[in-house]
Amino acid sequence: MLEQVAALKHDLGKYVAWTSANLEDAVWTGPVDDELVSALCADLLATRTHGESKEAAWEVWRSHRASLPEALEPELAAVEVAVGVLEDAGACLRRGDREALAAKRSAVREAQMTIRAQLRGLHRRLLRER
């Protein structure tokens, strides 16, 4: 389990907010600008890349989820919920619907932070328990 969580922490936790985590707070309010759209497209729609191939955050989650136990650790259950929030916002990004994205962006930011924190916390817990 430790190795699976470490891989998930890297593949999803590290890159789900790689670009958008560095944006100024002001970008997360007011009209949705190109900078936020670009950052979220990179983080959510191209979380993992292999050459020309791009995987969205929820695709990365599902590829790892398949090898995890059916009953998830509490941290992974929280990640699963957060990934659902990102998938919903991903549909807005793909449609170019900035108005819908504006309504979801605070939830997106929270989901990104949840994923990072929960995976980091679970990884540390598993290391301690080893």
Domain limits for position 49: 1-129
pTM of the model: 0.93
Q: What value does the CA radius of gyration of the chain take, rounded to a whole number of Å?
A: 15
Q: Is 53 helix (H, G, I), strand (E, B) or coil?
A: strand
At 104, which CATH number? 1.20.120
What pLDDT, on the 0 to 100 scale, is given for residue 70?
A: 83
What pLDDT, on the 0 to 100 scale, is given for residue 85?
A: 98
- The span from the CA of 45 to the CA of 28, in Å, is 18
- The span from the CA of 71 to the CA of 94, in Å, is 32
What pLDDT, on the 0 to 100 scale, is given for residue 76?
A: 95
H-state helical runs in the chain: 2-8, 34-40, 57-65, 74-95, 98-129
Distance (Å) of CA 61 to CA 26, 29, 31, 79, 96: 29, 28, 30, 9, 23
* Domains held by the chain: number: 1
What pLDDT, on the 0 to 100 scale, is given for residue 72?
A: 83
What pLDDT, on the 0 to 100 scale, is given for residue 63?
A: 95
Token duo for residue 24 = 């100024």
Q: How would you write the pLDDT of the chain (130 residues) with one tens digit per residue? A: 899 999 999 999 999 999 999 999 999 998 999 999 999 999 999 999 988 899 999 999 999 999 888 888 899 999 999 999 999 999 999 999 999 999 999 999 999 999 999 999 999 999 999 8
